[in-house]
Amino acid sequence: MHESAYPLRGKRLVLVVDDEPINRALLGAMLEETCDVIMAENGREALALMEQNRSRLSLVLLDLKMPVLSGTELLKAVRADETLRRIPIIVLTADQDAEIESLDLGAIDFIPKPYPPAGVVLARVRRTIELSEDRSIIRATERDELTDLFSREYFYRYAEQFDRLHEETAMDAVVIDINHFRLLNERYGKAYANRVLRRVGEKLREAVQDSGGLVCRREADIFLLYCPHRDDYESVLEHSGAGLTGEQAGSARVRLRMGVYENADKTIDIERRFDRAQVAADTIRNNLTRPIAYYDAALHQAELFAEQLVEAFPDAIRERQFQVCCQPKFNVQGDAPRLVSAEALVRWEHPTLGKISPADFIPIFERNGLISELDRYVWHETAAAMRDWRENGGVTLPVSVNVSRVDMLDANLSERFLEITRAYGISPSDLLLEITESAYTSDSEYIIATVRKLRALGFRIEMDDFGTGYSSLGMISRLPIDALKLDMLFVQNAFGETRDTRMLELILDIAEYLKVPVIAEGVETKEQMTALRALGCEIIQGYYFSKPIPLPDFGAYIEEQLR
Ligand code: C2E
Ligand code: CA
Ligand code: CA
């Protein structure tokens, strides 16, 4: 069991209830060295103290015969209360018959009067407390088979109990994550990856054990640490990542990443405290130079902002605060640039917060799934506009919509798209779907199957943000796609200060090998456009041609361009 590895420290709080001052004094003297003791003279006082200390109280020692409210009455009252009922009660009595009655009423044990020697009383007190703590923990028990650390549930409950016993101790909630664990798994195999997990778990435990810290593996490669505040996390991290070089992995070094929520606010749920640590860890996801991030005032502000946006979402949909814009894409390989399609991009005009950038709200809605509802709204708006252009302007232009990775997990996705094309009389081949590269890398087999199905139905797929994910060449060559959409960063890097076009050329080579056209976005100048065209890039989107235009105005734009 874990108790030996994780002794719960700190004095337990015990309530002694007896109307005789001498009895209170005797018990107080026996207990005071190992426990914090509070006293009550009758049942009513005791009930009040139990209510005040309901979360911290470990045990009640209860006399039965008392004025005002007797011990028996108190037992009845406690039994009727959901939370008070969990506090173990030992009855103090000289009357053998009363014992049975009090056990029936929920007392857990009894101590006869006159009291046995202090050692006996203390042993009973300790055993009763241990049993009740075990019982509340065992309900959520089970450890992680692989690392032998606490399971997540057990860990959370243990942490809560730790808090109850150490109200004054400042605690840190920490999340530790292994960088590129998925790659490690793929490259060196599961057995090696498991060994890494075990090793990291062991080292983490070693690092914090002395200070009373608790460790668990939350899932996959994510570890949680709950420990009294400290400021040497660099060395904890160093210690935990040490010895992970070499082995099969050659010189590949296993790197850990850590998010720390210091002096955690104990009034919020324990899970939420770790969410905050996770938020901090996420800020350094692709940062190899900074292994530790702290949850700070700025992140807290961001969290509050995110909550505000999530709350505002239902009204925003209902009141049509979201608008859709279209940004044109031009084929530049002919004599003159030719409008070939457009991308639908969502905008949010909030009545009090003003314009909010999709770069701000999309990631938030992706985290909690609201993105699916928003995306469906955008798809419908876009399809309705396409019908309008055709019916009122006589023009048809293919338009791409963004498909979030959350949408990709929707089992009804292809039916939804089919339904939209039917409802608005659009050909599936005119609805282009932009799927971000990183969606492919998260659950590739499933995503690839979904994409195959969509293509079989006639939809065309553009792989968005290409170059930011970690697709292997092997995987890319199996991908069913119709175009690669270069991440804007490549364009910016290629024409920024360094003028390094090698990455760009490499990606264009890959596209040529795959025989798919390349779309460059974020193209702002004529110089960029000319250079990209010379490198073989076929389609260009960006401010150079046009900023995104609100849907109601885009019909006129198309007519003008196609005239
Ligand atoms: P994205 O899909 O990569 O979209 C391209 C972004 O680049 C858009 O930003 C666009 O306005 C911007 N952009 C276009 N041309 C230029 C240029 O020449 N220079 C610069 N600096 N930027 C340019 P936006 O509209 O702020 O969207 C940001 C991201 O939000 C999008 O990136 C996309 O990932 C997401 N997004 C936008 N609308 C939707 C939507 O309806 N659904 C989903 N799931 N995501 C969306
Ligand atoms: Ca896009
Ligand atoms: Ca993009």
State pLDDT tens for residues 349-386: 999 999 999 999 999 999 889 999 999 999 999 999 99
Task: Note down the domain range covering 50.
Answer: 3-141
Same domain, 124 and 162: no
Instruction: Count structural domains, the chain.
Output: 3
Query: Closest Cα to atom 22, ligand 1: which residue?
Result: 522
Q: From the CB of 464, is ligand 1 less than 6 Å away?
A: yes
Q: How confident is the model at residue 6 (pLDDT cuts 50, 70, 90)?
A: very low
- Mean pLDDT along residues 77-98: 85
**Looking at the structure, do residues 352 and 449 belong to the same domain, yes or no?**
yes
CATH label of the domain that carries residue 9: 3.40.50.2300
Mutate to test the pocket of ligand 1, among 309, 345, 370 (most ligand atoms within 8 A of CB): 345
Residue bearing tokens 């502000």:
301
Percent of the chain with pLDDT over 90: 57
**14-28, 74-88, 379-393: lowest mean pLDDT where?**
74-88
Q: Does ligand 1 have an atom closer than 6 angstroms to the CB of 366? A: no
| Tokens encoding 538 | 């076929």
Supply the CATH number for residue 190's domain: 3.30.70.270
Mean pLDDT within 36-48:
94
- Please give the distance of CA 285 from its chain centroid, rounded to a whole number: 13
373 and 513 inside one domain: yes
- Is 324 close to ligand 1, i.e. is its CB under 6 Å away? no
Candidate from 114-118, 193-197, 513-517 with smallest mean pLDDT: 114-118
- State yes or no: pLDDT of 218 exceeds 60: yes
Q: How many angstroms separate the alpha carbon of residue 2 from the centre of ligand 3? A: 49
Determine whether the shortest distance from the Cβ of 548 to ligand 1 is under 6 A: yes
User: Residues 483-500: what's their mean pLDDT?
Assistant: 86
Spacing, Cα 488 to ligand 3 middle (Å) = 6
Any idea which of 50-59, 319-328, 337-346 has the lowest mean pLDDT? 50-59
Please list the residues that pair with 92 across neighbouring strands: 63, 111
Instruction: Confirm whether 347 is domain-assigned.
Output: yes
The confidence score (pLDDT) of residue 141 equals 55
How much is the average pLDDT of 134-162? 77
Q: Is 404 in the pocket of ligand 1 (CB under 6 A)?
A: yes
User: Which residue pairs, CB below 8 angstroms and at least 24 apart, start in 521-529?
Assistant: 521/343, 521/485, 521/486, 521/487, 521/488, 521/491, 522/488, 522/491, 522/492, 523/491, 525/495, 527/495, 528/491, 528/495, 529/332
473: CATH: 3.20.20.450
In this structure, is residue 552 part of a structural domain?
A: no
Q: Are residues 366 and 502 in the same domain?
A: yes
3-state helix, strand, coil in the chain (%, to 5): 50, 20, 30
Q: Which atom of ligand 1 is nearest to the CA of 524?
A: 18
Q: Which of 149, 165, 101, 122 is nearest to 34 (CA)?
A: 122
pLDDT over 60 at 246, yes or no: no
Cβ of 375 closer than 6 Å to ligand 1, yes or no, is: yes
Asked if residue 554 belongs to a domain, the reply is no
Lowest mean pLDDT among 115-124, 355-364, 430-439: 115-124
Q: Pick from 433-437, 507-511, 512-516 the range whose average pLDDT is largest.
A: 433-437
**Same-domain status, 129 and 19:** yes
Q: Per-residue b/e over 433-453, b at no fewer than 16 CB within 10 Å?
A: bbbbbebbbeeeeebbebbee
Residues 137 and 222 in one domain: no
Residues 76 and 193 in one domain: no
User: Which of 50-54, 379-383, 475-479, 524-528 is predicted least confidently?
Assistant: 475-479
Output the CA 544–ligand 3 centroid distance in Å: 16
Judge if 110 and 181 occupy the same domain.
no
Residue nearest to ligand 1 atom 11, measured at CA: 548
pLDDT band at 2 (very low <50, low <70, confident <90, very high): very low
Contacts of 56 (CB under 8 A, 6+ apart): 13, 164, 165, 167
Are 340 and 237 part of one and the same domain?
no
Q: What pLDDT does 266 receive? A: 96
Atom of ligand 1 nearest to the CA of 371: 44
Residue 322 belongs to a domain: yes
Q: How far apart are CA 53 and CA 62, in angstroms?
A: 16
Q: Is residue 405 part of a domain?
A: yes
Q: Which residues pair with 17 in a beta bridge?
A: 40, 62
Handedness of CA 301, 302, 303, 309 (dihedral sign): positive
| Alpha carbon of 544 to ligand 1 centroid (Å) | 15
Same domain, yes or no, for 18 and 122? yes
**174 and 135 together in one domain:** no
**Averaged pLDDT score across all residues of the chain:** 89
How would residue 268 be classed by pLDDT, with cut points 50, 70 and 90? very high
Please state the rounded mean pLDDT for residues 501-515.
87
Alpha-carbon gap, residue 236 to 204, rounded angstroms: 7
Domain end (from 141, 161, 182): 141
Ligand 1 near 489 CB (within 6 A) = no
371 within ligand 1 shell (Cβ under 6 A): yes
Cβ–ligand 1 contact at 221 (below 6 Å) = no
- The three-state secondary structure class of 131 is helix
The answer, yes or no, to whether any atom of ligand 1 lies below 6 A from the CB of 393, is no
Q: How far is CA 226 from CA 152, 157, 164, 239, in A?
A: 12, 12, 14, 17
Q: What is the pTM of this model?
A: 0.70
Q: Are 44 and 70 in contact (CB under 8 A)?
A: no
Distance CA(449)–CA(362), nearest Å, equals 25
How far apart CA 91 and CA 114 sit, in angstroms, is: 13
Domain-ending residue, one of 141, 175, 191: 141
Decide if 285 is inside a domain: yes
Return the minimum-mean-pLDDT range out of 207-211, 442-446, 522-526.
442-446
- pLDDT category at 244 given cuts 50, 70, 90 is low
CA distances in angstroms from 502 to 124, 205, 507, listed in the order given: 75, 45, 9
Domain identity same for 361 and 379: yes
